[in-house]
Chains A and B, each alone.
Chain A
Amino acid sequence: MDAEFGPILAARSAGLCVECGKCVTVCPMAEMYPDFGWETSPRGLVQLALRGRELLAGQGLWRCTQCEACTRTCPAGVDCCGLVADLRPLARAELGGEPAAEAVCAMCGAPLPPAPVLAYLRRALPQVPLEYLDLCPACRRERYIRNNS
């Protein structure tokens, strides 16, 4: 357990996980990704985080939508969602700021959902022009006003 990892795990109470799997049942990722499995589920992410740094190289961290459903449901008090949020900067450094995992708003540069989440949206939405997915909510409204005022 290195110096960066330890405090994060402690702050998010990852060690309290009893692997009950309640987080898995509420996690929307189960419906989003056909290959949803242990290693990309909230429970798996917590357990992998407890094991070490291998987690940072994988895609699992970037699939999370940060909905906090797992945190709300956890009977042991693990803040799984916060754990993922805290580990993402570490993973970013590990991957050398991989651009594929991170998209920003085309107009204002605000961070957008990670690439796997956007990929899910593109799969789920009907085949219509989806350029607006490159914009953050505020900029979408801005554009809508400009087009209509």
Chain B
Amino acid sequence: MASIQESPTPAAQAVPPVLSKAGAAGAEPGHARHASLASLRPARKPGWLERLFPPRRPTLVLDPARCTGCGACEMACSARDGGPARPEAARLQVLRDEGAGGNFAVFCQHCLDPLCLAACPQQAITRGKDGIVRIDSRLCAHCGLCVAACPEAAPRRVDGRTVKCDLCDGEPLCVAACPQGALSFSPGKSVHWIKYLRWTVQTLAFLLLVVVLTGAVCSLRVAGWSLACPLGVLQNVFSSKTILLTSLAAGLVLLVLALLAGRLFCGWLCPFGFLLDLAGTILPRRLGEKLRLPEVMRNRLAKYGVAGAAVGVSGVVGYQAFCAVCPIGTVCRSYGFQSTVAGAEFSLIPALALLEAGEKRSWCRYLCPVGALLGLCAKVGLLKISIGAARCKKFSCMRCASVCPMGIISENDLREGVSPRLDMAECIGCLRCVDICPHGAAVIRFAWQKSTPAERRGPAPCGGCAAGPAGREGGAA
């Protein structure tokens, strides 16, 4: 001990650089003294093939209505490795709510971007090619940081060891053990067919409305039937101060479609929307943050203002003022023999298309007056998209929020474990959320059907866990 006291060495001298090569090449200046595991095992980025055909994402799905809280799943899980069946050692936990009578189970959701994986200092947690997030027991130090990092605390510390559901490599014992069929195993979707259908319809609609029938969105007359842009008709009424029943009827077609099926036009048919979607796919992501509308303009009510202004100005100047700059119309009339578009009218289009790198469909979110009119109808329309509370995996998935081009699926709601409500006036009915949801939680419903039960509830003191975490964990098991 004496020799130790003689050498109170500063840390820099006491610990010579381990792996100095990696340290010198290390990205962070703070890491100069030792190589970090993150630099030795860099995260794998998905290739283009994987992005185009995303891998399946298996999960457990719980139906709380069927769960009786018997705990058979816990018994089966804890006995998997040949040990005694101890519910408190199970990787999933049944939570019994004596008061309300509802039961619930907490288990790993095998997140898309697992927070436990980000937090693990040992890089012991990986997301396999099969979509299952596992702890590599050879690397795990059992520090429990994954438990602290998980919003649901789904990984568990059992007897000083950290354990986590690995879905029994695809054949979960808990599902087999559940006598009520409350737990089920969902292998996840492999083919997202709505995506391919939508791109096909959008392409065909573009060809039809722009190339074959140039200018068809603005106004179209086929065999006595006429169809016109509702905003164009409104502007016409106000500028010419005359109401033509035929043109009113023509303008109503899209509005009635919006009443029946929401802003289906915006998501599936609008030629400018198609161009925006294309731009969003092609433009590199890293342009992202810089290309956004200024904060002042990012107000969803602005499009109603634009619609009102378009109609008002038309009344004053005596012609359809907005149609002169309308990007939808410009795209529509830009092709073919009837092409009537001059250069200046195109100026809006590249600017708006560039915004796609930042926020998807910025034009449709904040500015489009045609979408505003359709949105008013969709708001009181027949259909809605509902994200069901029981099946939705909330913060552990959030795929719907990440793909929604209109940004109406609240990530904050999902993070708080609440099912988000969708404002149908803003929803363009592209069905990306329905398509991507691996759990079948996002569905099309009639407006009057029951949807998400959970309203946003603020944090309240919880009586059940007043005994502390140890008491609660033990009591819950």
Residues of A within 8 A of B (CB): 15, 19, 26-32, 34-41, 44, 47, 50-51, 65-69, 105-110, 112-113, 117-118, 120-121, 124-126, 128-129, 132-133, 136-149
User: What is the CA–CA distance of A145 and B113 in the complex, to the nearest angstrom?
Assistant: 22
Judging by beta carbons under 8 Å apart, are A138 and B469 in contact? yes
Interface residue B454 (Cβ < 8 Å from any Cβ of A): yes
Judging by beta carbons under 8 Å apart, are A146 and B457 in contact? yes
- Beta-carbon contacts under 8 Å, B130-155 to A: 141-145, 147-149, 151-153
Q: For B461, list chain A residues within 8 Å (CB).
A: 107
Q: For B466, list chain A residues within 8 Å (CB).
A: 108
Judging by beta carbons under 8 Å apart, are A34 and B476 in contact? no
Contact with A26, one of B15, B64, B141, B411 (Cβ below 8 angstroms): B141
Q: For A30, list chain B residues within 8 Å (CB).
A: 34, 121
Q: For B151, list chain A residues within 8 Å (CB).
A: 132, 140, 144
Judging by beta carbons under 8 Å apart, are A137 and B417 in contact? no
Distance from B93 Cβ to chain A, minimum over Cβ atoms (Å): 7
Distance from A63 Cβ to chain B, minimum over Cβ atoms (Å): 11
Contact with A108, one of B9, B12, B468 (Cβ below 8 angstroms): B468
Contact with B418, one of A32, A36, A120, A147 (Cβ below 8 angstroms): A147
Judging by beta carbons under 8 Å apart, are B122 and A31 in contact? yes
Categorize the interface residue count of chain B: 35 or more
| A/B interface sample: 6 pairs, CB < 8 A | A28-B141, A37-B14, A117-B148, A138-B476, A141-B95, A149-B97
Judging by beta carbons under 8 Å apart, are B462 and A108 in contact? yes
State the main secondary structure of chain B at its contact with A. Answer: loop
Interface residue B104 (Cβ < 8 Å from any Cβ of A): yes
Q: For B462, list chain A residues within 8 Å (CB).
A: 107-108, 139, 142-143, 146
User: What is the CA–CA distance of A30 and B40 in the complex, to the nearest angstrom?
Assistant: 14
Judging by beta carbons under 8 Å apart, are B153 and A28 in contact? no
Interface residue B5 (Cβ < 8 Å from any Cβ of A): yes
Judging by beta carbons under 8 Å apart, are B141 and A69 in contact? yes
User: What is the CA–CA distance of A147 and B152 in the complex, to the nearest angstrom?
Assistant: 12
Residues of B within 8 A of A (CB): 1, 4-5, 8-9, 11-12, 14-15, 28, 30-31, 33-34, 36-38, 64, 93, 95, 97, 100, 102, 104, 106, 113, 115, 118-119, 121-123, 141-145, 147-149, 151-153, 160, 389-390, 394, 411-412, 415-418, 454, 457, 459-462, 464-470, 472-473, 476
Known: A38-B14, A126-B118. A149 touches B64 (CB 8 A): yes
Q: A65-B143, A139-B469 are in contact. List 13 more A-B contacts (CB 8 A).
A: A41-B15, A47-B4, A50-B1, A110-B465, A117-B145, A121-B145, A121-B148, A137-B147, A139-B465, A140-B153, A142-B95, A145-B95, A147-B417
Judging by beta carbons under 8 Å apart, are A148 and B389 in contact? yes
Judging by beta carbons under 8 Å apart, are A51 and B34 in contact? no
Known: A34-B31, A139-B465, A142-B464. A67 touches B143 (CB 8 A): yes
Q: For A140, list chain B residues within 8 Å (CB).
A: 151-153
Known: A113-B148, A143-B462. A124 touches B468 (CB 8 A): no
Judging by beta carbons under 8 Å apart, are A50 and B12 in contact? no
Known: A144-B152, A149-B64. A38 touches B15 (CB 8 A): yes
Q: For A144, list chain B residues within 8 Å (CB).
A: 104, 106, 151-152, 417
